[in-house]
Amino acid sequence: MSTIAGVSPTPNAAANQPLPLQPLLTKRQAADLLGCCPRTIDNLVAAGKLPVVKIGASARFDTDDLRRYIAAQKRLTEAPEQLEPAYA
């Protein structure tokens, strides 16, 4: 078995197989998935809360990034006692 300088061979050839890619979504598809309007997606991208994949002039969204955004929003709203005013 030959090796490339500085790279050791892996014992499992399957480990070198790329992970299957999920299709990237358009802004409209991302908005539909999140249940919001496309302008909200623009706002999330501008605020740095949602990553965007630029392909030429087109913006596309990774479903894994959308899942992470949803999970982050869940974590922010899981503690309702922190959301209520202290004077109530």
pLDDT in tens, the chain (88 residues): 554 555 555 555 556 777 788 899 999 999 999 999 999 999 999 999 999 999 999 999 999 999 999 999 988 766 655 555 555 4
Tokens at residue 32, please?
Answer: 């539909």
Hey, is 43 helix, strand or coil? helix
How far from 22 is each of 17, 28, 47, 66, 83, CA to CA, in Å?
Answer: 15, 17, 25, 12, 36
Amino acid at 47: A
In contact, 26 and 66? CB cutoff 8 Å: no
* CA–CA distance, 62 with 36 (Å, rounded to integer): 17
Whether residue 52 contacts residue 59, with contact meaning beta carbons closer than 8 Å, is answered with yes
Q: Give the predicted TM-score (pTM) of the model.
A: 0.64
Q: Where are the domains of the chain?
A: 22-77
Specify the CATH architecture of the domain 22-77. Answer: Orthogonal Bundle (1.10)
Q: Which residues pair with 55 in a beta bridge?
A: 58
